[in-house]
Structure 1
Amino acid sequence: MSVAKKLAGQTAVYGVSSIVGRVLNTLLVPVYTARFVAAQYGIVTGLFAYVSFLNVVFTYGMETTFFRFANRPGTDRQELYDRVMTLLLLTSALFTVGLALLARPLMSLLALPPGHERYAVWIACILGLDAVAAIPFARLRLENKARKFAAIRLANILLNIGLNLFFIVFCPDVLAGKYLTPLQPLVARLYDPTVGVGYVFISNLAASTFTLVLLYRELLSVRLRLGLQPLRPLLRYAYPIMLMGLAGMVNETLDRILLPKWLPEGFYPGQDRLAAVGIYGACYKIAILMSLVIQAFKYAAEPFFFAQSTEKNSPHTFALVLKWFTLCCAVLFVAVSVNVDLVARVFLRSPEYLQGLSVVPVLLLANLFLGVYWNLSVWFKLTDKTYYGTYLGFAGAVLTIALNFLLIPVLGYMGSAIATLACYFMMAALCWWLGERHFPVPYPVVRLLTWLLVACGVVAVSWWLPLSDTWTAHAFHALLTLGFIGLIVLIEKPHRALGGA
């Protein structure tokens, strides 16, 4: 097998495990929105937003650092693995205990009454276990054990989903007498209704524990090696990566942390702040459909970009890739936004979540610009000027915080959605502007912006033109979607035939 075929095969395995995992986890949203009221789901949304930040802190860039140092000539990989694992085992234990001790203050950030501290303890344990598993997973990738990596990842996801369905759907239904009533005594011993949304965290904790069991070979091979001196170069390399990761998390998840803090009490009549977070978080999941497309594209395009970088015609190729990527994402943006009421029937199973649907087009467009930014960022990756990525990430973080502060008190969760859109649009625009000076590519900027404006116009027409009859509305929305696709095919087909951007 050639090196190229081997790389392509492993990329496909890693990609499938990641994308399928995200799809399967997204399918839990209908379960949560059907079984939990918005305020309960707000707890899940808020705490997992903190998890995104704390995951970066718990691993503090050591996964990437392990890859970098393991590939240096003369490195004893086993010794490096031992030292990194020893450090992570120590820090994970300290962070987990510290976070558990801070359970009450953390719960107060979400405005939860006393008695929910166990959620924070479970979250702390999940973070600690996942941090310990990070380096064994990195070692599997380093040793080209893609199938084992993917199998363990998928086992984690499937167990998590299975336990969620068991505790959130099966057990309550059995106790309610909907089916399998002979099992009620057994279920009553296994299931405590007062735990409620806590079973979401318990399921994650069980899956993380099971992952470490599956990684037992990699864990048993560790020999504890203490000593700060050999770790100094590792930590110097790791901390900028951690800062970059934190900046990325600000742009991606900070809105769900800031929303319950900066939303005025009573902003949404009859709802508390946690309910608003739950509604926003559930609607945000619909926008993840765009993220899944971007993730799939990244797995295929990243090796392609680097392979094409030495070709004479690579700038033209990059421009063509961005053009068709943007047009495909524009079609998805229109299709989901125009038909969002149909999509919502799948994801949002309780009527109270539907009032937040207006944020979906904004968040879809925001994620589209994130995908555009990722395409444009090829210039600083190919020129080894990756520090520009850090600058752009922190610029986006500053804008995200500022706009959330200004807009949440005025617009509620729509303010958070607009802040996300503004952040990713600014990052894409700055990345293009800087790229023109360091690595010029003939991107058809005006043409693509025109198409995006047309897409926004189509979505606006579908939202603001009232149609009382449901079937007439569905037919009109389908025609709008097909009309937009047909317009792209009609206008862009000659360019495609000529190979133009």
Structure 2
Amino acid sequence: MNPLKKLAGETVIYGVSSILGRLLNWLLVPLYTSLFIPEDYGIVTNLMSYVAILLVVLTYGMETGYFRFASQEKEGDSTFSTCFISLITTSILFLIIIACFLSPLAVFFEIPTNKSFIILLALTLGLDAITALPFAKLRKENRAVRYAGLKLINIGVNLGINLFFLLLCPWIYNNYPQIPITIIWNPEFGIGYIFLAIFISSFINLLLLLADILKVRLKLDRKLLIKILIYSSPILVVSICGTLNINLDKMIMPELIPESQNPFYQTGIYGANYKLAVIMTLFIQAFRYSFEPFFFSQAKEKNSKQVYADVLKYFVILGLIIFLGVMFYLDIVKILIDSRYHEGLGIVPYVLLANLFFGIFFSLSLWYKLTDNTRFGAYIAIVGVIITVVLNILLVPIFGYMGAAYSVLACFFVITIISYIAGQKYYPVPYDLRGILFYLLLATTIFAISTYFNPENQWLKMAEKTPLLLLFMIVFIQKERLWSSLGKIVGINRKRK
């Protein structure tokens, strides 16, 4: 099979599952923003940013290490077994540490009376760390359909539990007082049900993956583990730094914004609007799931570097189409969050572009993973964190959450440039830099022009911007000479009819 078609096919499967899953999950965003005030949603945003960081720590680059070493053996079971035992051990140690420091942690997060939030999130993290490797095994084996199905089940369970506790139980409580619903539901628990739903869905994930786990005879290969840890430790740094670059602003924003300006309110506004970049996030997530095992498997092919170059160009083009689409139809996208949060819509273009550059950075990262120079990836990622910290400290106290949006875009833009320059030295790939820059300039120019179209009627505004999106797509099709390919597809469909 054409490698680009194979990658595209798997990306579509991962993407469809992610899109469907996130659409179900996104039904919760208007629910959360309508039920909880920004201050409460700010607590959720703050805690979940720590969860994202800790999950990276608890998996410590084992997924990439597994792909790298399992590709060198026929079945990869020895690598899987060794990595899986390691993850179980460290997850148990993590839960013991959390139990020992539960009270100080509750004080640190400013939820001293809600220790259960931390317990639920810690258990969820342990479960997610344990199931990370079985999910990676499915990706390596190209079992994208099973992977997607399990993820959809996870999201469906999460959605159902949220609706049950946040909507159905309060409705029963208010309309049918004779039903003792308070046996299983506490009206004071509030945002705690968000964390409970995540925990239960993660537990069900583990149950559904048990069949795949039990097929492998678990045995620890200490020598192999040392090799994997040496390879993966810089990947851990890269992953932590990458996650910090995405989440650090939400973690430190309450500390940087003066108390008089209601820091948790601003964090809630920022967190809700950040989620409006969901389509870009889904695209990048689907691409990452399929691309990492793909480029390892393609490394030995003669034309692999040209394939990598083509992948990056088309990735950027599709990402820019998503950027323009979200911005041109933001009046529709914004209905996902309550109108109380709309004051933060100004961050959306910066967040979209930041996520796009994050995806480019991930695509470029193949150079240090394939050459076993993962330490360089760690160096670049650390530079990104320094940029994020410095810019947030400088800008957030002045511009509030807009300063955080400026910072995240600047961070990913700079580390993308650094990774490209370093990669061309150690593992040169013939990327079409001129073409990529052309499309970036074209998209940003079209977006700048669109800002002058601001009729009061939102439908008229979107109608006026649609031709600009079509213009970008036509230029793309014409420049890449895709008319003949599209003509063949149309001809095939006509013959079938």
Report the TM-score range of the alignment, normalised by the length of the smaller protein. 0.7 to 0.9
CA contact (8 A) 1:56 1:246 kept: yes
Structure 2 CA distance for aligned equivalents of residues 339 and 76 of structure 1: 46
Change in 2 beyond 3 A, CA 1:432/1:458: farther
Partner residue of 2:51?
51
Structure 2 CA distance for aligned equivalents of residues 324 and 229 of structure 1: 40
Q: 2:119 aligned with 1:128, yes or no? A: no
Q: 2:475 aligned with 1:487, yes or no? A: no
Change in 2 beyond 3 A, CA 1:73/1:446: closer
Partner residue of 2:322?
332
CA contact (8 A) 1:92 1:132 kept: yes
Which residue, out of 343, 356, 381, partners 2:344?
356
Structure 2 CA distance for aligned equivalents of residues 122 and 136 of structure 1: 22
C-alpha distance after superposition, 1:129-177 (max 9, x if no partner): 2222233434455566555444333222211111011111221222232
Please give the secondary structure, in 2, of the residue aligned with 1:405.
helix
Deviation at residue 284 of structure 1 after TM alignment: 0.4
CA contact (8 A) 1:152 1:211 kept: yes
Deviation at residue 361 of structure 1 after TM alignment: 1.6
Please give the secondary structure, in 2, of the residue aligned with 1:439.
coil
Partner residue of 1:104?
103
Structure 2 CA distance for aligned equivalents of residues 408 and 252 of structure 1: 15
CA contact (8 A) 2:117 2:195 kept: yes
Q: 2:449 aligned with 1:458, yes or no? A: yes
Letter in 2 for 1:37: I
Change in 2 beyond 3 A, CA 1:166/1:458: farther
Deviation at residue 51 of structure 1 after TM alignment: 0.7
Structure 1 CA distance for aligned equivalents of residues 224 and 370 of structure 2: 31
Please give the secondary structure, in 2, of the residue aligned with 1:249.
helix
Letter in 2 for 1:257: M
Structure 2 CA distance for aligned equivalents of residues 440 and 76 of structure 1: 32
Q: 2:18 aligned with 1:27, yes or no? A: no
**Structure 1 residues without counterparts, runs of 5 or longer:** none
1:369-384 matched pairs, under 5 angstroms: 369-377=357-365
CA contact (8 A) 2:305 2:430 kept: no
Q: 2:81 aligned with 1:62, yes or no? A: no
Q: 2:92 aligned with 1:93, yes or no? A: yes
Change in 2 beyond 3 A, CA 1:140/1:452: closer
Change in 2 beyond 3 A, CA 1:70/1:320: closer
Structure 1 CA distance for aligned equivalents of residues 219 and 303 of structure 2: 49
TM-score, normalising length from structure 1? Answer: 0.82
Change in 2 beyond 3 A, CA 1:341/1:266: farther
RMSD: 3.7
Structure 2 CA distance for aligned equivalents of residues 212 and 454 of structure 1: 47
Change in 2 beyond 3 A, CA 1:76/1:31: closer
Partner residue of 2:491?
none
**Larger CA deviation: 38-47 vs 204-213:** 204-213
Partner residue of 2:270?
280
Change in 2 beyond 3 A, CA 1:165/1:458: farther
Letter in 2 for 1:359: I
Change in 2 beyond 3 A, CA 1:456/1:436: farther
Change in 2 beyond 3 A, CA 1:308/1:122: closer
Q: 2:474 aligned with 1:476, yes or no? A: no
Q: 2:354 aligned with 1:366, yes or no? A: yes
Structure 1 CA distance for aligned equivalents of residues 37 and 446 of structure 2: 34
Structure 2 CA distance for aligned equivalents of residues 498 and 337 of structure 1: 26
Deviation at residue 292 of structure 1 after TM alignment: 1.7
Which residue, out of 154, 160, 167, partners 1:162?
160
1:190-339 matched pairs, under 5 angstroms: 190-218=184-212, 231-267=225-261, 272-298=262-288, 303=294, 315=306, 322-339=312-329
CA contact (8 A) 2:7 2:290 kept: no
Identical-pair percentage: 38
Deviation at residue 415 of structure 1 after TM alignment: 0.8
Q: 2:141 aligned with 1:152, yes or no? A: no
Letter in 1 for 2:283: V
Structure 1 CA distance for aligned equivalents of residues 316 and 260 of structure 2: 40
CA contact (8 A) 2:14 2:290 kept: no
C-alpha distance after superposition, 1:320-344 (max 9, x if no partner): 6655544443343233224423321
Deviation at residue 448 of structure 1 after TM alignment: 2.9
Structure 1 CA distance for aligned equivalents of residues 445 and 3 of structure 2: 44
C-alpha distance after superposition, 1:285-315 (max 9, x if no partner): 0012212233345566664897599566965
CA contact (8 A) 1:372 1:428 kept: yes
Structure 2 CA distance for aligned equivalents of residues 483 and 147 of structure 1: 36
Partner residue of 2:481?
497
CA contact (8 A) 1:43 1:274 kept: yes
Change in 2 beyond 3 A, CA 1:489/1:34: same
**Larger CA deviation: 153-162 vs 418-427:** 153-162
Please give the secondary structure, in 2, of the residue aligned with 1:162.
helix
Please give the secondary structure, in 1, of the residue aligned with 2:341.
helix
CA contact (8 A) 1:322 1:443 kept: no
Letter in 2 for 1:88: L
Change in 2 beyond 3 A, CA 1:380/1:232: closer
C-alpha distance after superposition, 1:207-239 (max 9, x if no partner): 122222223345556877689677433433332
Letter in 2 for 1:91: T
Deviation at residue 91 of structure 1 after TM alignment: 2.2
Partner residue of 2:490?
none
Letter in 2 for 1:215: L
Please give the secondary structure, in 1, of the residue aligned with 2:260.
coil
CA contact (8 A) 2:329 2:462 kept: yes
Q: 2:414 aligned with 1:429, yes or no? A: no
Partner residue of 2:404?
416
Tell me how many residue pairs correspond in the alignment. 480
CA contact (8 A) 1:50 1:257 kept: yes
Structure 1 CA distance for aligned equivalents of residues 66 and 297 of structure 2: 22
Change in 2 beyond 3 A, CA 1:332/1:224: closer
CA contact (8 A) 1:42 1:274 kept: yes
Structure 2 CA distance for aligned equivalents of residues 277 and 3 of structure 1: 43
C-alpha distance after superposition, 1:395-427 (max 9, x if no partner): 222211111111111111111111011011112
CA contact (8 A) 1:109 1:261 kept: no
Please give the secondary structure, in 2, of the residue aligned with 1:195.
coil
Partner residue of 1:442?
432
